[in-house]
Chains A and B, each alone.
Chain A
Amino acid sequence: MVDMCVDLGPVRLATPLATASGTFGYGTEYMGAVDYSCLGAVTVKGIRLDAWPGNPMPRHAEVPGGMVNAIGLQGPGVGMFLNHYAPLYETAFEQTGIKPPAMIVNIWGGTVEEYAEVAHIVAGSGFSFIKAIECNVSCPNVKSGGHTFGHDPMILNRLVSTVRKDLEMPLIVKLAPNVPDITPYVKACEDGGADAISLINTIPAMVIDIERRKPAIANKTGGLSGRAIHPAAVKLVYDAHRASKLPILAMGGIYEAKDAIEFMLAGASAVALGSAIFSNPGVVREVYDGITEYCSRHGFTAVRELTGALEIDA
Chain B
Amino acid sequence: MLDEKSKVIEHADRGEGYRLLALYSPQIASAAMPGQFVHVKVPALEASALRRPFSIFDADAETGTVRLLYKRVGRGTAALNAVKPGEELFMEGPLGKGFPLECTGVPLMAGGGYGVAPLYFLAKKIMALKGGVPPSPELFVGGRTKADILARNDFAALGVPVAVATNDGSDGDKGFVTVPLDRRIAALKAENEPFTLYACGPDGMLKAVADRALESGTDGWISMDRHMICGVGACYACIQKTTSGNARCCIDGPVFAAKELVW
Contact = CB atoms under 8 A, between A and B. Distances in A.
Contact of A25 (B2, B3, B235): B235
Contacts of A29: 230, 232-234, 251
Contact of B48 (A23, A45, A255): A255
A57 B236 CA distance: 10
B246 A279 contact: no
B158 to A, nearest CB: 32
A23 B234 CA distance: 6
Nearest to B92: A33
Given A62-B49, A227-B48, A278 B235 contact: yes
B229 interface: yes
Interface stretch (A4-12, A65-73, A300-308): A65-73
A32 B1 contact: yes
A150 interface: no
Nearest to A56: B239
B55 to A, nearest CB: 20
Could you say which interface size class chain A belongs to?
35 or more
Contact of A30 (B50, B227, B232): B232
Contacts of A124: none
Contacts, number: 87
B235 A279 contact: no
A31 B1 CA distance: 8
Interface string A17-54: 00000111100011111000000000001000001011
A74 B252 CA distance: 15
A278 B239 contact: no
A249 interface: no
Interface of A: 22-25, 29-33, 45, 51, 53-54, 57-60, 62, 64-67, 69, 71, 74, 226-227, 255, 275-282
State the majority secondary structure of interface residues on B: loop
B229 A60 contact: yes
B67 interface: no
Given A279-B41, A281-B3, A67 B50 contact: yes
Contact of B239 (A57, A69, A282): A57
B28 to A, nearest CB: 11
B214 to A, nearest CB: 22
Interface string B42-71: 000011111100000000000000000000
Nearest to A74: B236
A30 B234 CA distance: 8
Contact of B233 (A25, A65, A71, A282): A25
Contacts of A279: 41, 47-51
A74 B239 contact: yes
Contacts of B251: 29
B48 A24 contact: no
B217 interface: no
Contacts of B49: 62, 279
Contacts of B3: 32-33, 281-282
Contacts of A69: 229, 235, 237
B245 interface: yes
A23 B3 CA distance: 17
B2 A33 contact: yes
Contacts of B230: 23, 25, 29, 277-278
Contacts of A276: 48
A282 B3 CA distance: 8
B196 to A, nearest CB: 28
Given A275-B48, A279-B50, A24 B234 contact: yes
20 contacts: A22-B235, A23-B234, A24-B234, A25-B233, A25-B234, A29-B230, A29-B233, A30-B232, A30-B234, A31-B1, A32-B2, A51-B245, A53-B245, A64-B46, A67-B229, A226-B48, A277-B230, A279-B50, A279-B51, A282-B90
Contacts of A278: 50-51, 229-230, 235
A58 B237 CA distance: 7
A72 B50 CA distance: 20
Residue among A53, A276, A277, A279 having the largest count of chain B Cβ atoms under 10 Å: A279
B88 to A, nearest CB: 13
A59 B246 contact: no
A39 to B, nearest CB: 14
A32 B50 CA distance: 19
Nearest to B227: A58
A58 B225 CA distance: 13
A52 B238 CA distance: 16
A210 to B, nearest CB: 15
A42 to B, nearest CB: 10
